[in-house]
C-alpha cells in the first residue's frame, strides 16, 4: 500500500463500501478501513446492513412468509401440503449463507477495483491522518488527501433493560434465535420491532407483544397508511400496545419480567425473550481524536452540510452517522455524491425522494410528504387512493389488503408524496420515486401505460383517482 492514498474511507457498510467503489472507479487510490468481524472473528465488509441488518432480516422475513403460506394459504390454491414443519436450523443456515455470499461479493469488488481493505478500527487524527488499530491491538497510521467517515450506527440501549441477561437481546440477537420463543416481548414498535415481531409470530410464537412509548403508531408514516398497517398487523397477532413505556426489567428464572407504564397505570409482563428495538445511535464514539477538531451535533451525529462536508477541509461524513434517515440507500447515494465531489465533479443527493419501506406483510412504503404534513402547512393538494382489493392481479395473488395513495399539488399537479401498503410495495414505490425525481405530475402517471394485469396498474389508478377518474373503483367524492 502506498504511504499516502487519495482517499481513506472509514467504514465498509453500504455508505462506505459504495463510496470506496465509486472513488476507485473514478481513478482515486482508495483505502477502506473497517473493524467488523464475523462470529468466527474473521474481518468481513458490509457493515450492519449485510451482516446483521437488512439482508439477514429480509432472508428470515422471506422464509417465514413461505412457512405461513405453506401452513395456511396454499390450500386455497388447491395445493395440499400436508405435514408442513419448521427446520429453524436450516432456515438460519440459509440466512447465514446469503450473508456470506454477499459479504464475499464485496470483498471481491474491493479486489477488482484495487481498493486496499484494511481491517481494524479507524480513528481520525489531525491533518487527514487515520490511526488504525487491529484486533490484536497493533496500530499504524495512514494519511490521505480526502477522508470519508462512514462509521454507521449502533442499537440504542436502555438503562432500564440491560442486555446482560441472556433473555434480552438487540436486533442482532433477535436474528439469531435458535428456537422460536413462546412468548416474545419487543420494546419499540418501530421498523425493527415490526419486522422482527412478524418473523417470530409467523414462525410460531404464541404471543408477540410490542410495547411502544409513543401514543401514535408509526408517526413518521402517513396517518391513513399507519392506521391500516396497525389494523392488519394486529389481526396477524402482533399485540401492539401504544403509550406503554418500559421502566424496568428483571430475570425470573429463564424468563424476563418487565414493568411498563401506560398513562398513570403500571403493568408487568413476563416473556421468554425480549427484544430491545428502540432506535439506533451514531457509531461515533472515539471516531475522531480531540486533536482532529471534528464537529458533532448534540445527538453525536457528525455535523455536515448538504453535500456531506464536515467542518474539516477534505473530510466528509455519510450514512447513519449524519443527519437524515438511517437508511442504507440514503448512505449509498451520499457515498456516490462524495466520491464525485472528490473527483471534481458536480453532485448532489435529492433528499426529497428518499423512499422508506417497512418489510412487513403487507409491505408499507412511502416517499415525499405525508398528508398530515401537507395539512399542517395548509398546502392545497389533491389525493388519489386506489384500494388493492380492486386490482385483478392482487386478487389473483390472494393479497387484497392495502391501497396506493398519491398526493399532488392542486395548482401544478406536481407529485408531493406517495404512500402505499400492499404486496411488493417496496418495488412499487420506485414508480413514484422516479416520477418525483423527474418532477412529474399525477397526470404524467395517468398518461403512462402499465401492463395488465400487474400491481403497478394500481399506481396508475391512484394517479387517475387524483383527478377523480379511477376506472376500477368508485370515487368517494369528486375532487373540488
Ligand atoms: P425506530 O426509531 O423506528 O423505532 C423505535 C421505537 O421505540 C420508537 O417508536 C420509540 O418511540 C420506541 N421507544 C423508545 N424507547 C422506548 C421505551 N422505553 N419503551 C417503549 N418504546 C420505546 O427504531 P428501530 O426500529 O430500532 O430502527 C432503527 C433504525 O434502523 C431506524 O432508523 C430504521 O429506519 C432503520 N431500519 C430500517 C429498516 C428498513 O428500512 N426496513 C429496517 C430496520 C431498521
For residues 402 and 477, the model is more confident at 402
Expressed in angstroms and rounded, the spacing between residue 403 Cα and the centre of ligand 1 is: 24
Q: Report whether pLDDT(215) > 70.
A: yes
* Residue 359 beta carbon below 6 angstroms from any ligand 1 atom: yes
- The ligand 1 atom nearest the CA atom of 191: 25
In a domain, 480, yes or no: no
Domain-embedded: residue 452: yes
Distance CA 259, CA 161 (A): 10
- The best mutation among 191, 220, 281, 363 to test binding of ligand 1, ranked by most ligand atoms within 8 Å of the C-beta, falls on 191
Cβ count within 10 A of residue 87: 10
Banded model confidence at residue 480, pLDDT cuts 50, 70, 90: very low
* Residue 147 sits in the same domain as residue 236: no
How far is residue 67's CA from residue 84's CA, in Å, rounded to a whole number? Answer: 8
Mutate to test the pocket of ligand 1, among 55, 188, 215 (most ligand atoms within 8 A of CB): 188
- CA of 189 from ligand 1 middle (Å) equals 7
Judge if 142 and 291 occupy the same domain: yes
The answer to whether the CB of 466 falls within 8 A of the CB of 442 is: yes
Average pLDDT of 427-446? 98
Name the band, by pLDDT with cuts 50, 70 and 90, for residue 475.
low
Give yes or no: 146 in active site.
no
pLDDT per position as a tens digit, 400-411: 999 999 999 999
Instruction: Give pLDDT, residue 2.
Output: 45
Residue 176: inside a domain, yes or no?
yes
Q: Which of 330, 349, 368 is a domain's end point? A: 349
- Cis-peptide, bond into residue 2, ω within 30° of zero: no
Secondary structure letter of residue 222 according to DSSP: -
Do 123 and 10 share a structural domain? Answer: yes
The single residue listed with the C-alpha cell 417465514 is 64
pTM over 0.75: yes
Average pLDDT over all residues of the chain = 96
Q: Are residues 246 and 127 in the same domain?
A: no
Final residue of a structural domain among 333, 349, 365: 349
Peptide bond just before 362 cis, omega within 30 deg: yes
| Helix (H), strand (E) at residue 381 | strand 381-387
Question: Per-residue pLDDT for 478 more than 60?
Answer: no
CA 190 to ligand 1 center in whole angstroms: 4
Q: How far apart are CA 351 and CA 109, in angstroms?
A: 28
Domain containing residue 8: CATH number: 3.50.50.60
Cα distance between residue 468 and residue 390, in whole Å:
16
Residue 156 CA: nearest ligand 1 atom is: 26
pLDDT of residue 176: 97
Q: Are residues 223 and 333 in the same domain?
A: no
> Can you give the CATH number for the domain in which 432 is found?
3.30.390.30
Q: Which three cell numbers stand for residue 274?
A: 425480549
Which of 146, 452, 460, 472 is flagged as catalytic? Answer: 452
**Per-residue model confidence as pLDDT tens digits over 75-107:** 999 999 999 999 999 999 999 999 999 999 999
Query: Average pLDDT, stretch 312-318?
Result: 98
The answer as to whether 476 is a domain residue is: no
- In a domain? residue 148: yes
**Per-residue pLDDT at 354:** 98
Q: In terms of domains, do 133 and 26 share one? A: yes
% of the chain at pLDDT higher than 90: 96
Tens digit of each residue's pLDDT (9 = 90 or more) over 231-275: 999 999 999 999 999 999 999 999 999 999 998 999 999 999 999
Q: Give which of 25, 46, 47 is closest to 113, Cα–Cα.
A: 25
Residue ranges making up the domain that contains 11: 4-155+281-349
Residue 357 Cβ inside 6 Å of ligand 1? The answer reads yes
Ligand 1 centre from 328 Cα, in Å?
15
| Nearest-atom index, ligand 1, CA of 194 | 25
- Cell numbers 389481526: residue: 235
Q: Quick check: helix, strand or coil at residue 285? A: coil
DSSP secondary structure of 292-328: G---B-TTSPBP--TT-B-SSTTEEE-GGGSSS---H
User: What's the rounded Cα separation, in Å, for the pair 86 and 304?
Assistant: 48
Between CA 415 and CA 352 the distance in angstroms is 11
The number of distinct structural domains making up the chain is 3
Tell me if 20 CB under 6 Å of ligand 1: no
Residues 20 and 44 in one domain: yes
Burial of residue 471 (CB within 10 Å: 0-12, 13-18, 19+) is: exposed
Task: Please write down the long-range contacts of 266-272, taking CB distance under 8 Å and 24 or more positions apart.
Answer: 269/185, 269/209, 269/211, 270/183, 271/167, 271/181, 271/183, 271/184, 271/185, 271/209, 272/167, 272/181, 272/182, 272/183, 272/184
Residue 233 lies in a domain: yes
Q: What is the mean pLDDT of residues 409-437?
A: 98
Q: Examine the fold and report which residue of 263, 278, 293 is the final residue of a domain before the chain moves on.
A: 278
Are residues 49 and 126 both part of a single domain?
yes
- State in Å: Cα 472 to ligand 1 middle: 37
Considering the domain architecture, whether residues 357 and 413 belong to the same structural domain is answered as: yes
Question: Is residue 479 scored above 50 in pLDDT?
Answer: no
67 lines ligand 1 (CB under 6 A): no
Q: How far is the CA of 326 from the centre of ligand 1 (A)?
A: 10
Position 113 pLDDT exceeds 50: yes
Task: Answer yes or no: do 239 and 270 share one domain.
Answer: yes
- Is there a single domain that holds both residue 132 and residue 18? yes
Regarding whether 151 and 190 lie in a shared domain, the answer is no
Structural domain contains residue 475? no
List the residue whose alpha carbon is closest to atom 44 of ligand 1: 192
Residue 428 lies in a domain: yes
Ligand 1 in reach of 258 Cβ (< 6 A): no
Amino acid at each position: 500500500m502506498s504511504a499516502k492514498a487519495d482517499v481513506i474511507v472509514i467504514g465498509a457498510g453500504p455508505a462506505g463500501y459504495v463510496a470506496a467503489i465509486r472513488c476507485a472507479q473514478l481513478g482515486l487510490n482508495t483505502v477502506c478501513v473497517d473493524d467488523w468481524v464475523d462470529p468466527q472473528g474473521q474481518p468481513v465488509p458490509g457493515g450492519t446492513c449485510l451482516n446483521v441488518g437488512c439482508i439477514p432480516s429480509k432472508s428470515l422475513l422471506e422464509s417465514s412468509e413461505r412457512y405461513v403460506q405453506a401452513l395456511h394459504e396454499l390450500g386455497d390454491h388447491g395445493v395440499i401440503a400436508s405435514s408442513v414443519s419448521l427446520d429453524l436450523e436450516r432456515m438460519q443456515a440459509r440466512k447465514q449463507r446469503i450473508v456470506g455470499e454477499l459479504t464475499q461479493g464485496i470483498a471481491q469488488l474491493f479486489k477488482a477495483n484495487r481498493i486496499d481493505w484494511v481491517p481494524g478500527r479507524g480513528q481520525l487524527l489531525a491533518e487527514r491522518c487515520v490511526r488504525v488499530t487491529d484486533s490484536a491491538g497493533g496500530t499504524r497510521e495512514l494519511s490521505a488527501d480526502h477522508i470519508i467517515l462512514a462509521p454507521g450506527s449502533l442499537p440504542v440501549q436502555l438503562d432500564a433493560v440491560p442486555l446482560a441477561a441472556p433473555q434480552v437481546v438487540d436486533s442482532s440477537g433477535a436474528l439469531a434465535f435458535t428456537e422460536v420463543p413462546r412468548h416474545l416481548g419487543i420494546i419499540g414498535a418501530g421498523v425493527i420491532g415490526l419486522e422482527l415481531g412478524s418473523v417470530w409470530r409467523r414462525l410460531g410464537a404464541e404471543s408477540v407483544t410490542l410495547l411502544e412509548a409513543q401514543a401514535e403508531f408509526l408517526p413518521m408514516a402517513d396517518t391513513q397508511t399507519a392506521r391500516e398497517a396497525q389494523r392488519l398487523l394486529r389481526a396477524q397477532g402482533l399485540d401492539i400496545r401504544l403509550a406503554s413505556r418500559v421502566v424496568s426489567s428483571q430475570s425470573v428464572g429463564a424468563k424476563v419480567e418487565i414493568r411498563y407504564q401506560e398513562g398513570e397505570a403500571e403493568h408487568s409482563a413476563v416473556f421468554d425473550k425480549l427484544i430491545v428495538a428502540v432506535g439506533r445511535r451514531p457509531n461515533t464514539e472515539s471516531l475522531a481524536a480531540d486533536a482532529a477538531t471534528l464537529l458533532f451535533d448534540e445527538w453525536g451525529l457528525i455535523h455536515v452540510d448538504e453535500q456531506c462536508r464536515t467542518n474539516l477541509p477534505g473530510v466528509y461524513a455519510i450514512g447513519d452517522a449524519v443527519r437524515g434517515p438511517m437508511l442504507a440507500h440514503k448512505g449509498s447515494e451520499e457515498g456516490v455524491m462524495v466520491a464525485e465531489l472528490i473527483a471534481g465533479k458536480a453532485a448532489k443527493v435529492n433528499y426529497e425522494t428518499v423512499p422508506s419501506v417497512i418489510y412487513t406483510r403487507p409491505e408499507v412504503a412511502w416517499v415525499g410528504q405525508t398528508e398530515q404534513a401537507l395539512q399542517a402547512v395548509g398546502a392545497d393538494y389533491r389525493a388519489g387512493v386506489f384500494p388493492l382489493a380492486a386490482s385483478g392481479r392482487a386478487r389473483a395473488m390472494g393479497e387484497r389488503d392495502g391501497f396506493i395513495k398519491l398526493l399532488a399539488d392542486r395548482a401544478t399537479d406536481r407529485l408531493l408524496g406517495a404512500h402505499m401498503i400492499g404486496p411488493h410495495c417496496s418495488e412499487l414505490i420506485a414508480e413514484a420515486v422516479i416520477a418525483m425525481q423527474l418532477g412529474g405530475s399525477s397526470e404524467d402517471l395517468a398518461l403512462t401505460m402499465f401492463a395488465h394485469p400487474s400491481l403497478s396498474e394500481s399506481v396508475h389508478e391512484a394517479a387517475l383517482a387524483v383527478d377523480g377518474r379511477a376506472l376500477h373503483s368508485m370515487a368517494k367524492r369528486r375532487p373540488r
